[in-house]
Amino acid sequence: MDPLKNKTTLTTIGIDRSTNRLIDKLCKRYNLKKGEIVKLAFQYMDKACINPSEPPESVKAELAKINKRQDDLIRFIRHFEEEQLNPMIRATNSIAIRFDTIAETLEALVLSQIQQSQVKNNMILHRIADQFTRHVDAVNNQTGQLSTMGQAQKRDNQKLLNLIRLYTELAACGVMDGKRKESLKTEIHKLIKDEY
């Protein structure tokens, strides 16, 4: 780096005694050196775009300008509010009311559709339940019939076995067993008559 760049070159300016007293007074008030106060004053004038050759306006005139600008701004805001914001608010409110109405209508429609669907589903479920009940009753009835038929078949089989046994005994009886033959024939007739 160039060591000359960091060095500040100081210059002098000529001022009259009254200005010098004013600078001294400001230096004491703000606890600054003369060079600092002059530098800060010029920076302030530059930032604020103040032309030191123009005489400062009176406070009343500045306040009047501010009040006029403020009134103009308030008039603009009111005009903008009247011309732009209020119609937008009314339109938004109208849209919101229509949206609420549509939402309520759709809600009522959806609820009625759901209710109708539930009624239809309940009817279908009742029909299915009735069909299942009929099928269960038919199966139970057939089971009862099968059970009854099974018992009758068992009884018939038992009778048949008894008949076979009796015929076998009858066939095994000799010529000498007449009484026994007669009693076997009677039992066979009883069994046959029970079947019909």
Per-residue pLDDT tens for 110-130?
A: 999 999 999 999 999 999 999
Structural domain of 36:
12-52
Give me the mean pLDDT over the 87-93 stretch: 89
Copy the structure tokens of residue 22. 């004013």
Q: CA torsion sign, 126 to 128 to 129 to 135?
A: positive
What's residue 196's pLDDT? 46
The verdict on residue 164 lying in a domain is: yes
The verdict on residue 169 lying in a domain is: yes
CATH number reported for the structural domain that contains residue 23 in this entry: 1.10.1220
What's residue 101's pLDDT? 93
Per-residue pLDDT tens for 5-60?
A: 667 777 888 889 999 999 999 999 999 999 899 889 889 888 988 888 877 677 78
What's residue 21's pLDDT? 93
**Predicted confidence (pLDDT) at residue 76 exceeds the cutoff of 80:** yes
The verdict on residue 179 lying in a domain is: yes
Per-residue pLDDT tens for 134-161?
A: 888 888 888 888 888 888 888 888 888 8
**Predicted confidence (pLDDT) at residue 102 exceeds the cutoff of 90:** yes
Got the DSSP string for 66-127? HHHHHHHHHHHHHHHIIIIIHHHHHHHHHHHHHHHHHHHHHHHHHHHHHHHHHHHHHHHHHH
What's residue 112's pLDDT? 92
Residue with tokens 């007074």: 25
The verdict on residue 2 lying in a domain is: no
DSSP structure class, residue 4 = T
What's residue 8's pLDDT? 73
The verdict on residue 184 lying in a domain is: yes
What is the pTM for the complete model shown? 0.35
Number of domains in the chain: 2
The verdict on residue 23 lying in a domain is: yes
The verdict on residue 183 lying in a domain is: yes
Give me the mean pLDDT over the 167-175 stretch: 72
Q: 3-class DSSP state for residue 176?
A: coil
Residue with tokens 């010098």: 20
